């Protein structure tokens, strides 16, 4: 119904109204003249709150059709919004008066001045009117209570019923369309013709996990980017690419991203583990035998949203003749909600032995278990568990133990909506079922709508045309087709069909068409608060990649997360859990970028529909800004937003996507969230500081630094840059009253003149401050007094002791003030370019520190007991430690009789050329990643330490001019080895120990392969390299090719990605091409910085599994192979290379275009030349 879009969520509405009432009482506390009559209205409102909550929740849950209820809900929402705006205005006036009083009166008279704050009669009457309006609307709630009761027994519609009805193994008459690949793959897996990838272990590193499925796990737009991207490449982008991406706001849109670029690792976001890590690329090269002891029982999950066809696919597999032949027993069980362990076992037995006639009380649980074990023991079982939900968690352990009694190669096929269930149950990664391709869906829809009789209709061609247009609006959701098709088939009336086509939103039943698709998506099944959070995400434009952290911030800022009196319940943590739940249910889709997600087109459009324009994306074609829009985004370049009669003060969110020039006065808005990242800002309006309700301002540092008197934005939670200046409105004391800040970046601290001025920022009072960055503009100290002044200023910027992350840049003091070592809650510390700092505090005593980075500290000579402190365990929880450009550092001392960094996982030492002593005896051996560069001075100590690193998974060594000895027998868990510019490398014991190595990068290493080649016989060489059976990614240079060292890799069939880097060779020989031809699993080939290369391998067209070709900086390459490229190639990229080749590959007049015209995605020098989305997922 229309009204559902006007609902803000039952308990949310109750919480919002209760919050308004509490604030009104506080404001009227000293205004006795208004208390008497207003108090009665407030009391009546509080009494009505439970009934309001009941009506809203029932309206959302049951989709009641009532225009009167819809109107009342809108009136209620308007009254709540108006009252909130009035209360905000009152509180804003209070804050402003307080700030002004502090600047005008002495400290002794401040309290007196605050007591004198009063409101005018007109202002108080305005407040009273807002309360009366809210009370009048709420008073009419009783008229809808009876309507709710009468509808209690109604069904929620055809789709809602079908979603929760019991399924069976019978496929029915409906043809299975568009699922051939998925069904074929599942059959191959369960029949044992090929093994599926093992599911990711709990302790696996995120950058080793596949990301998405072949059939478009996310959706068409994601295929355009992520078709062949690999997890490893997602970690390799350099800082310049990150800065470029962040600088281009529009670049967050998928259409604008360059799939050839390596994916970006975003800041300090936690790696995503919801769905993203389990989505697999189902090409033949991805198939590996499961690890372990080849368990008898394999469990394959199928994951997808409601109505996408999981049950249909499972039915097709279950009824396949080969399945019936290969398995001794087959059973189908629908796992309903609230099912018990006894019921599941009972249903399995009934499916296996339908003649048994078991009743609920026939046997107790113990007898049922023994009966099932007796039936399945030593027999190959195929079991389908359909519709599995969270309730399975309680009984799964016991059920799995029973099912393991079945015979070898037994299989369980599980269908579920949630990745958490797939991760819990599966012994292998899930198959993600996405919506159907447009062509397949149209075929299915036509099959359901038109029968043989219909095809004899004289206007059937007109009906077919309309039918195709209707089908496109369903975005490939099969259940929607099965629900709507009977309506069209039963009403063979052109006018009816045109009304269906012209309907704005099919989930709104006021059109009288009887269509209700919303429950099919499961949105209606979400509890109100979570549904509200999902609806909010529809404010982002189509295909926009948004950040989890910022969405969470917005939810909290808008009050979607109910506050709690418990101190251990943090709203942000609750919001993060809710976000993860939406990801788990497939409403939000993860991308290969950490912490970034997208919203499926179908989910987004339904969310926009039910929000009734509360969340509105303003396009160039939009004419009128909806009156009820509270959250607005502008999705156009250089577009002037026409406000019309819109009330600015009701606006809570304003976001710009695209490039805009800001020359408007945004200081009059009532925004809580303002996103200006897509704007070109030369000068900000001076009254931007009037946005006193603003909690989140997303803008670049240059923009935030321009805000005059930013200190008046007292509710702001992040300040991207506060740039200290000498003039009023920009001095550091502007920070004094900003007590809600969580992230703060202060620059130009050299403009602060004294300790006293620094203390005026009152950082020590900011209890919510989580991240603090302090930066000076680097200068060579004129004298020791300059160094002392720096220390005094830093001392005056003492933050609250609860600070979690600290970053200090260009500090010119010799040592730190005492408070640095007293911040016991610190989890991350970065000290950068503090070149005069010669004494470090005892950071080893910080009990919660997890990340420490020291960069550019050129006066530090020793890391010893002074840094370690006096505790027995040094850096007790430190996990990541990075040293870079400590040019004077000579010794890293042992920690005698102490435990040194016991939980260290990542260690990096870069450009510390004088370092000669490492604590190899006491330094933790738990390191999993080791990165070293310019390590010649201590390379002789490295082998002894490497022998202790038996858990090492990644080793990177660069710029080593001495002999490097790698003890291979100790590094059996190594997965990624990078050697660059290493003069002489010896593999002690041979590389056959590297059985888990997935990525090998070797370039500019003169003797690394020569040593292998010369030290062993031909047979031994094959044996040495033959251990690399897990190798997936290979990066090599011309030396590897020139000496034909690739012959040692002939036995490898697992390589998926090959990158030729820094080639001086001009062409590939016949022998080279023959070797490439043997790599049948190769999916992606890259040529980077091959500046003398004149010709590509002539046989690329014969590499049948090749999906992606990338040419980067190949400046002499002027043409493509004469025989062209493979027919099934999906992506072709050229950048930074030959202008001739770029011109030859143009779509309009390029001579080489015919060789790549069949490729769905073609990108030349940063521009997308061709994009055929339908073919990208095939």
pLDDT in tens, 1008-1064: 654 554 555 555 555 455 567 788 899 988 777 666 666 666 556 678 899 998 878
User: Exposed e or buried b for every residue in 715-745, given b needs 16+ CB within 10 A?
Assistant: bbbbbbbbbbeeeeebbbbbbbbbebbbebb
Shared domain check, 773 and 808: yes
User: C-alpha angle with apex 941: 935 to 944, nearest 5 degrees?
Assistant: 130
User: C-alpha angle with apex 858: 855 to 862, nearest 5 degrees?
Assistant: 95
Answer positive or negative: Cα dihedral of 106, 108, 112, 115.
positive
SS3 617: strand
Shared domain check, 51 and 32: yes
Domain that holds residue 459: 439-474+478-516
Nearest to 466 by CA among 437, 425, 495: 495
Reply yes or no on whether the pLDDT at 503 is more than 70: no
Reply yes or no on whether the pLDDT at 488 is more than 80: no
Reply yes or no on whether the pLDDT at 355 is more than 90: no
Q: pLDDT exceeding 90 applies to what percent of the chain?
A: 28
Query: To 10 degrees, the CA torsion angle through 751, 754, 757, 758?
Result: 80
Reply yes or no on whether the pLDDT at 314 is more than 60: yes
- pLDDT band, very low/low/confident/very high, at 659 (cuts 50, 70, 90): low
Whole-number average pLDDT of the chain: 76
pLDDT at 872: 92
Cβ(596)–Cβ(546) under 8 Å?
A: yes
pLDDT at 481: 76
Query: To 10 degrees, the CA torsion angle through 755, 761, 763, 767?
Result: 150
pLDDT at 440: 84
Per-residue pLDDT averaged across 843-860, rounded? Answer: 96
Residue 1151 CB neighbour total at 10 angstroms: 12
Would you state the structure tokens that stand for residue 111, as one six-digit string?
Answer: 């309290």
Shared domain check, 104 and 188: no
User: Exposed e or buried b for every residue in 412-448, given b needs 16+ CB within 10 A?
Assistant: bbbbbbbbbbbbbbbbbbbbbbbbbbbebbbbbbbeb
- Residue whose structure tokens are 């189509």: 542
pLDDT at 508: 46
Q: For residue 1095, list its beta bridge partners.
A: none
SS3 209: coil
Shared domain check, 120 and 94: yes
Shared domain check, 97 and 182: no
Shared domain check, 354 and 467: no
Reply yes or no on whether the pLDDT at 642 is more than 90: no
Task: Report the alpha-carbon distance of residue 916 to residue 930 in Å, rounded.
Answer: 17
- The number of domains in the chain is 5
- pLDDT band, very low/low/confident/very high, at 594 (cuts 50, 70, 90): confident
Per-residue pLDDT averaged across 557-584, rounded? Answer: 82
Residue 922's contacts (CB-CB under 8 Å, 6 or more residues apart) are 894, 895, 896, 898, 899, 900
Domain contains 494: yes
pLDDT at 400: 92
Task: Report the alpha-carbon distance of residue 784 to residue 813 in Å, rounded.
Answer: 9
Cβ(1134)–Cβ(1098) under 8 Å?
A: no
DSSP-assigned letter for residue 814: S
Reply yes or no on whether the pLDDT at 502 is more than 80: no
Cβ(987)–Cβ(965) under 8 Å?
A: no
Per-residue pLDDT averaged across 792-805, rounded? Answer: 96
Contacts of the segment 18-21: beta carbons below 8 A, 24+ positions apart: 18/46, 18/49, 19/559, 20/80, 20/83, 20/84, 20/87, 20/134, 21/45, 21/46
Task: Report the alpha-carbon distance of residue 894 to residue 881 in Å, rounded.
Answer: 16
Nearest to 145 by CA among 69, 91, 220: 69
Shared domain check, 8 and 61: yes
Per-residue pLDDT averaged across 784-804, rounded? Answer: 92
The DSSP bridge pattern shows strands 851-855 and 880-884 to be parallel
| Max avg pLDDT among 152-161, 232-241, 325-334, 540-549 | 325-334
Reply yes or no on whether the pLDDT at 772 is more than 90: yes
Nearest to 426 by CA among 388, 394, 378, 381: 388
Shared domain check, 289 and 196: yes
pLDDT at 75: 77
User: Exposed e or buried b for every residue in 870-905, given b needs 16+ CB within 10 A?
Assistant: eeebbbbebbbbbbbbbebbeebbbbeebebbeebb
pLDDT at 1028: 78
Residue 1177's contacts (CB-CB under 8 Å, 6 or more residues apart) are 214, 215, 216, 220, 223, 227, 437
Reply yes or no on whether the pLDDT at 1143 is more than 50: yes
Residue, of 1109 and 702, whose pLDDT is higher: 1109
Residue 364's contacts (CB-CB under 8 Å, 6 or more residues apart) are none
Alpha carbon 712 to its chain's center: 34
- pLDDT band, very low/low/confident/very high, at 787 (cuts 50, 70, 90): confident
Domain contains 458: yes
Q: How close are the terminal C-alpha atoms of the chain, in Å?
A: 38
Domain contains 601: no
- pLDDT band, very low/low/confident/very high, at 743 (cuts 50, 70, 90): very high
pLDDT at 1069: 86
Residue 480 CB neighbour total at 10 angstroms: 25
Domain contains 242: no
pLDDT at 1077: 85
Per-residue pLDDT averaged across 798-806, rounded? Answer: 96
Task: Report the alpha-carbon distance of residue 560 to residue 575 in Å, rounded.
Answer: 9
* Span of 384-398, 603-617, 972-986 with lowest mean pLDDT: 603-617
Last residue of a domain, one of 811, 837, 863: 837
| Max avg pLDDT among 85-99, 277-291, 942-956 | 942-956
Last residue of a domain, one of 463, 489, 516: 516
Residue, of 164 and 859, whose pLDDT is higher: 859
Q: For residue 596, list its beta bridge partners.
A: 547
Residue 1084's contacts (CB-CB under 8 Å, 6 or more residues apart) are 228, 230, 1056, 1057, 1058, 1106, 1107, 1108, 1109, 1110
Reply yes or no on whether the pLDDT at 952 is more than 90: yes
Reply yes or no on whether the pLDDT at 240 is more than 50: no
Domain contains 982: no
* Span of 83-92, 517-526, 912-921, 1065-1074 with lowest mean pLDDT: 517-526
* Span of 193-202, 581-590, 846-855, 1035-1044 with lowest mean pLDDT: 193-202
Burial classification of residue 858, based on how many CB atoms lie within 10 Å of its CB (0-12 exposed, 13-18 middle, 19 or more buried): middle
Shared domain check, 461 and 354: no
Alpha carbon 1122 to its chain's center: 42
| Max avg pLDDT among 25-34, 189-198, 287-296, 939-948 | 939-948
Shared domain check, 142 and 172: no
pLDDT single digits (tens) 665-717: 565 566 778 878 767 666 777 778 888 888 888 888 888 888 888 998 888 99
Strands of 546-547's sheet in order across: 546-547, 596-599, 588-590
Domain contains 18: yes
Shared domain check, 494 and 360: no
Reply yes or no on whether the pLDDT at 2 is more than 60: no
Would you state the structure tokens that stand for residue 370, as one six-digit string?
Answer: 């023994």
Shared domain check, 367 and 223: yes
Task: Report the alpha-carbon distance of residue 413 to residue 385 in Å, rounded.
Answer: 6
User: C-alpha angle with apex 172: 169 to 176, nearest 5 degrees?
Assistant: 95
Q: Where do runs of H (alpha helix) occur along 1016-1114?
A: 1018-1026, 1038-1042, 1070-1078
User: C-alpha angle with apex 183: 180 to 187, nearest 5 degrees?
Assistant: 135
Contacts of the segment 29-33: beta carbons below 8 A, 24+ positions apart: 31/119, 31/124, 33/124
Task: Report the alpha-carbon distance of residue 1086 to residue 314 in Å, rounded.
Answer: 39
pLDDT at 284: 30
Task: Report the alpha-carbon distance of residue 624 to residue 1063 in Å, rounded.
Answer: 58
pLDDT at 497: 77
Per-residue pLDDT averaged across 234-251, rounded? Answer: 37
Measured CA distances, 851 to 321, 593, 869, 875 (Å): 57, 21, 17, 10
| Whole-structure pTM value | 0.67
Per-residue pLDDT averaged across 928-956, rounded? Answer: 94
DSSP-assigned letter for residue 292: S
- pLDDT band, very low/low/confident/very high, at 248 (cuts 50, 70, 90): very low
Q: Where do runs of H (alpha helix) occur along 473-547?
A: 478-490, 494-502, 518-521, 528-536
Q: Find the CATH number of the domain harbouring 377.
A: 3.40.50.300
Domain contains 740: yes
Per-residue pLDDT averaged across 453-476, rounded? Answer: 72
pLDDT at 474: 76
Task: Report the alpha-carbon distance of residue 44 to residue 136 in Å, rounded.
Answer: 10
Per-residue pLDDT averaged across 414-430, rounded? Answer: 88
Reply yes or no on whether the pLDDT at 343 is more than 80: yes
DSSP-assigned letter for residue 655: E
Task: Report the alpha-carbon distance of residue 919 to residue 168 in Å, rounded.
Answer: 65
Reply yes or no on whether the pLDDT at 160 is more than 50: no
pLDDT at 85: 72
How is the chain split among helix, strand and coil, in percent rounded to 5?
40, 15, 45
Domain contains 268: no
Residue 938's contacts (CB-CB under 8 Å, 6 or more residues apart) are 915, 916, 917, 918
The H or E element spanning position 316 is helix 310-318
Last residue of a domain, one of 837, 868, 892: 837
The H or E element spanning position 321 is helix 321-326
pLDDT at 612: 64
pLDDT single digits (tens) 814-835: 999 999 999 999 999 999 999 9
Burial classification of residue 1047, based on how many CB atoms lie within 10 Å of its CB (0-12 exposed, 13-18 middle, 19 or more buried): middle
pLDDT single digits (tens) 1057-1101: 999 988 788 888 888 888 888 888 889 999 999 888 999 999 998
């Amino acid at each position: 119904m229309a009204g559902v879009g006007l609902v803000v969520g039952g308990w949310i509405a109750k919480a919002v109204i209760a919050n308004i009432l509490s604030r009104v009482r506080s404001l009227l506390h000293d205004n006795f003249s208004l208390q008497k009559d207003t108090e009665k209205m407030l009391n009546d409102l509080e009494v009505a709150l439970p009934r309001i909550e009941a009506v809203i929740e029932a309206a959302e849950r049951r989709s009641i059709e009532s225009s009167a209820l819809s109107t009342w809900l809108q009136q209620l929402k308007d009254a709540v919004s108006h009252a909130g705006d009035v209360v905000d205005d009152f509180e804003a006036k209070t804050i402003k008066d307080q700030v002004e009083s502090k600047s005008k009166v002495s400290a002794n008279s401040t309290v007196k001045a605050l007591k004198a704050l009063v409101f005018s009669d007109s202002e108080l009457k305005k407040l009273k009117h807002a309360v009366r309006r809210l009370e009048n609307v709420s008073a009419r709630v009783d008229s809808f209570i009876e309507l709710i009761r009468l509808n209690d027994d109604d069904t929620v519609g055809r789709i809602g019923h079908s979603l929760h009805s019991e399924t069976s193994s019978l496929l029915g008459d409906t043809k299975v369309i568009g699922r051939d690949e998925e069904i074929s793959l599942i059959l191959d897996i369960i029949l044992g013709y090929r093994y599926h990838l093992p599911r990711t272990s709990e302790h696996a590193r995120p950058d080793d996990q596949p990301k998405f499925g072949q059939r478009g796990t996310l959706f068409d737009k994601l295929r355009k980017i992520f078709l062949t991207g690999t997890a490893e490449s997602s970690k390799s982008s350099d800082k310049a690419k990150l800065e470029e991406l962040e600088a281009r706001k529009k670049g967050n849109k998928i259409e604008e991203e360059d799939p050839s670029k390596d994916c970006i690792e975003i800041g300090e976001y936690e790696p995503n583990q919801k769905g993203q890590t389990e989505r697999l690329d189902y090409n033949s090269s991805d198939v590996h035998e499961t690890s372990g002891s080849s368990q008898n029982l394999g469990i394959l999950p199928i994951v997808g949203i409601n109505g996408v066809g999981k049950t249909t696919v499972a039915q097709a597999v279950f009824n396949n003749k080969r399945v019936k032949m290969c398995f001794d027993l087959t059973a189908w069980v629908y796992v309903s909600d609230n099912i018990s362990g006894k019921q599941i076992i009972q249903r399995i037995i009934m499916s296996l032995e339908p003649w048994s006639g078991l009743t609920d009380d026939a046997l107790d649980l113990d007898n049922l278990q023994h009966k099932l074990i007796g039936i399945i023991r030593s027999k190959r079982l195929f079991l389908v568990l359909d519709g599995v939900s969270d309730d399975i968690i309680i009984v799964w352990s016991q059920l799995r133990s029973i099912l393991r009694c079945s015979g070898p190669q037994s299989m369980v096929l599980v269908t579920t909506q949630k990745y958490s269930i797939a991760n819990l149950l599966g012994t292998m990664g899930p198959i993600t079922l996405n919506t159907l391709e447009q062509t397949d869906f149209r075929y299915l829809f036509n099959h359901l709508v038109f029968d043989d009789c219909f095809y004899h209709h004289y206007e059937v061609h007109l009906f077919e045309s309309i039918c195709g247009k209707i089908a496109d609006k369903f975005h490939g959701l099969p259940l929607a087709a099965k629900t709507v098709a009977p309506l069209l088939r039963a009403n063979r009336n052109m006018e009816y069909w045109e009304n269906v086509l012209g309907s704005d939103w099919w989930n709104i039943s006021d059109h009288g068409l009887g269509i209700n698709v919303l429950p099919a998506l499961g949105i209606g099944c979400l509890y109100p608060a979570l549904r509200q959070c999902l609806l909010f995400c529809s404010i982002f434009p189509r295909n926009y990649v948004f950040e989890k952290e910022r969405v969470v911030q917005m939810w909290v800022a808008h009050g979607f997360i109910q506050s709690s009196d418990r101190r251990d319940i943090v709203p942000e943590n609750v919001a993060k859990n809710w976000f993860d739940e939406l990801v788990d249910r497939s409403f939000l889709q993860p991308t290969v970028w950490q912490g970034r997600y997208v919203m499926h087109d179908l989910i987004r459009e339904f969310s926009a529909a039910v929000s009734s324009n509360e969340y509105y994306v303003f396009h160039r074609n939009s004419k009128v800004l909806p009156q009820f829009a509270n959250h607005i985004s502008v999705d156009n370049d250089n577009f002037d937003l026409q406000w019309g009669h819109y009330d600015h003060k009701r606006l809570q969110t304003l976001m710009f996507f695209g490039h805009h020039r800001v020359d408007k006065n945004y200081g009059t808005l009532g925004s809580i969230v303002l996103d200006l990242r897509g704007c070109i800002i030369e000068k900000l309006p001076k009254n931007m500081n009037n946005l006193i309700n603003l909690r989140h301002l997303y803008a670049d540092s240059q923009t935030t630094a321009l805000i005059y008197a930013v200190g008046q934005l007292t509710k702001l939670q992040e300040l991207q840059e506060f740039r200290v200046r000498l003039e009023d409105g920009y001095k550091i004391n502007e920070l004094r009253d900003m007590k809600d800040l969580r992230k703060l970046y202060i620059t130009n601290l050299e403009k602060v003149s004294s300790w006293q001025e620094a203390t005026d920022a009152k950082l020590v009072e900011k209890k919510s401050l989580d991240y603090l960055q302090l930066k000076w503009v680097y200068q060579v100290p004129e004298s020791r007094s300059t160094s002392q002044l720096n220390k005094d200023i830093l001392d005056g910027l003492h933050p609250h002791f609860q600070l979690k992350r600290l970053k200090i840049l260009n500090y010119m003091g010799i040592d730190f003030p005492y408070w640095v070592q007293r911040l016991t809650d610190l989890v991350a510390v970065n000290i950068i370019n503090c070149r005069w700092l010669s004494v470090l505090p005892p950071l080893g005593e910080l009990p919660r520190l997890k990340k420490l980075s020291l960069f550019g500290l050129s006066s530090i000579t020793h890391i010893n007991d002074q840094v370690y402190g006096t505790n027995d365990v040094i850096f007790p929880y430190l996990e990541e430690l990075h040293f870079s450009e400590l040019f004077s550092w000579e010794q890293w001392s042992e920690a005698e009789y102490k435990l040194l960094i016991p939980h260290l996982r990542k260690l990096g030492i870069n450009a510390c050329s004088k370092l000669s002593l490492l604590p190899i005896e006491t330094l933790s051996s738990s390191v999993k990643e080791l990165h070293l560069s310019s390590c010649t001075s201590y390379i002789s100590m490295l082998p002894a330490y490497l022998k202790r690193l038996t858990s090492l998974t990644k080793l990177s060594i660069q710029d080593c001019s001495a002999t490097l000895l790698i003890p291979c027998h100790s590094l059996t868990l190594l997965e990624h080895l990078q050697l660059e510019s290493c003069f002489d490398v010896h593999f002690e014991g041979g590389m056959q120990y590297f059985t888990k190595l997935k990525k090998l990068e070797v370039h500019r290493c003169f003797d690394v392969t020569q040593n292998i080649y010369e030290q062993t016989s031909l047979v031994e060489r094959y044996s040495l390299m033959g251990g690399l059976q897990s190798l997936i990614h290979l990066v090599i240079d011309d030396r590897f090719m020139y000496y034909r060292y690739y012959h040692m890799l002939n036995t490898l069939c697992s390589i998926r990605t090959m990158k030729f880097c820094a080639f001086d060779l001009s062409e590939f020989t016949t022998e080279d091409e023959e070797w490439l031809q043997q790599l049948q699993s190769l999916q992606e080939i890259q040529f980077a910085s091959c500046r003398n290369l004149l010709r590509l391998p002539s046989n690329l067209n014969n590499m049948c599994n090749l999906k992606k070709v990338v040419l980067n900086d190949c400046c002499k390459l002027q043409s493509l192979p004469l025989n062209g490229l493979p027919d099934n190639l999906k992506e072709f990229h050229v950048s930074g290379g030959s202008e001739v080749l770029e011109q030859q590959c143009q779509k309009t007049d390029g001579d080489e275009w015919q060789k790549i015209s069949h490729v769905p995605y073609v990108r030349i020098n940063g521009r997308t030349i061709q994009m055929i989305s339908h073919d990208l997922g095939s």
